[in-house]
Amino acid sequence: MVTSSHRDLGRNALGQHVVIDPYQQAVWDNCGLVAAERADLSGYLDFRERSSSRELAKLSGEGFQVDPAYIDGSHLIEDVFVDFYFVSRLLSERGIVLFDDSSSAHVWKVLRFIETNLKANFVPFDLRSYRADAGRSLKYRLAGPLRRRQLQAFQKVGPAERAWNSDFCNF
């Protein structure tokens, strides 16, 4: 858990880990918050119980920066796209954005948009070295070309904003 890293590094609990989940109470019965509290990590959380599109827009307007960012909310293309739009502006230079459920058709479509229209600004980030098997398993190696990997990442290497008259590539 990213939150425990702050504690393990000896940092003060200052709400450094922003968590956005409009369903934490209504659907999940606060299980994530309870788990963080039991692990004595709740002081490291900045929990926001609104939709990610509203909260990310608010953070963007405040000049907030993040690194890394983990997108794992709705699986609808419009929600994933809006989350990425704001995260791309919040992400620090050379920062990493991770997409969970990337084999979902909706999430995959956003990834294709990034790969075709933002390839000068966001490059694929290789996650193999973070796996226990270092990405050597046959299952993992086959999952890439088949677009069946659960988690995909990109590194920001340029500005998130494109010129208003940028070319558009079908994806």
The sign one gets for the Cα dihedral 92, 5, 55, 120 is positive
Residue 1 confidence (pLDDT): 59
Close Cβ partners of 6 (under 8 Å, ≥ 6 residues apart): 13, 16, 17, 44
Residue 80 confidence (pLDDT): 96
Residue 113 confidence (pLDDT): 96
The full set of domains in the chain, from first to last, is: 66-163 (3.30.110)
Residue 141 confidence (pLDDT): 85
3-state class of 164 per DSSP? coil
Residue 154 confidence (pLDDT): 98
Residue 143 confidence (pLDDT): 84
Residue 85 confidence (pLDDT): 97
The answer to whether 97 and 88 have CB atoms below 8 angstroms apart is: yes
In tens digits, the chain (171 residues) has pLDDT values of 578 888 888 888 878 889 999 989 889 899 999 999 999 999 999 999 999 999 999 999 998 999 999 999 888 999 999 999 999 999 999 999 999 999 999 999 999 999 999 999 999 999 999 889 988 888 888 888 778 889 999 999 999 988 899 998 888
Helices and strands counted in the chain (H then E) = 6, 6
3-state class of 19 per DSSP? strand
